Amino acid sequence: MSTAAPPIPRVELAQAPTPLVQLERLSQELGVELWIKRDDLTGLLESGNKIRKLEFLVGEALAQNADTLITCGTRQSNCCRAVAAVAARLGLRAVLALKGDRPDEYDGNLLLSRLLGARVRYCSDREWERVDEVLQDLAAEVRRAGGTPYVIPESGATVTGALGYLGCGQELVHQARHGAPAFDTVVITAFSGGSHAGLLMARQIAGLGAEIVSVPIAWEAKRVRDYVTDVIGQARGRYGLPVTVPDEIHLIDGYQGTG
């Protein structure tokens, strides 16, 4: 990353830079020049944007001498599977708190997480309502066994995780300087809004010129907007980054669903 990168620990995990591909026929159909940044190719079992976040989250974990990564999500959580994959690659342990009962058969991300060696704690609906306490209970178990845990909130939703998409924004700027288009709009999906916050920070730090628009797929728009605002404020306070919350945070609402 450039010298604008935050002075915090990072472990290189992503196969970056990820390529930019023009969608020619869809561009013709829609009447716009449309490209896609293939962040599905960041590596580690196609873990997508989670790998960018985990570069910083796990970097911080290793700096704290953690040997166990703990996180939570649904039984088919991409983030949980990504944490399990990173732990296996780095020789760490992974503990996952997953919403729902133990299934009769394992498939999808749950199967992959188990094959990668993750320990799974299944949570009832009542336990899921206090999942933060469950994570702390799991961390306490690790400490009692002599280990050092590092807790990652659901989807890696922290200011540290958001720095992964500050890095992605810097990458887009670098690619534009070497022949890629200078995009006027970047559109992403949003769970919490951490990636949105990271790209907004890249506008101010790295000179990314594009408007950032996200489509919330789980949280309601107000919650995403509030989270983006909070993350940018934390980045300024915790890391001293020269960033401010923009007057407008652009979201396209109405596409939330289960999954």
| Predicted confidence (pLDDT) per residue in 43-78, tens digit | 888 788 899 999 999 999 999 999 999 999 999 999
Domain annotation covers residue 203: yes
Q: Are residues 171 and 209 in the same domain?
A: yes
Q: Could you give the number of structural domains in the chain? A: 2
Residue 77: active-site member = yes
pLDDT < 70 regions, the chain: 1-7, 259
User: Tell me, what's the pLDDT at 48?
Assistant: 85
Tell whether 162 and 235 lie within a shared domain.
yes
Domain boundary, last residue among 147, 167, 193: 147
Q: Which of 2, 27, 47, 77 is catalytic?
A: 77
Q: Tell me: do 141 and 192 sit in the same domain.
A: no
Do 227 and 164 sit in the same domain of this protein? yes
- Which CATH number belongs to the domain containing residue 199 in this structure? 3.40.50.1100
Check residue 259 and give its pLDDT: 57
Q: Which residues contact 35 (CB under 8 A, 6 or more apart)?
A: 20, 21, 22, 23, 181, 183
Same domain, 93 and 166: no
Where a domain ends, among 147, 166, 187? 147
Q: Which two tokens stand for residue 101?
A: 């009962």
Q: What is the pLDDT of residue 3?
A: 41
Domain of 243, in residue numbers: 20-46+158-251
- Would you state the pLDDT for residue 45? 81
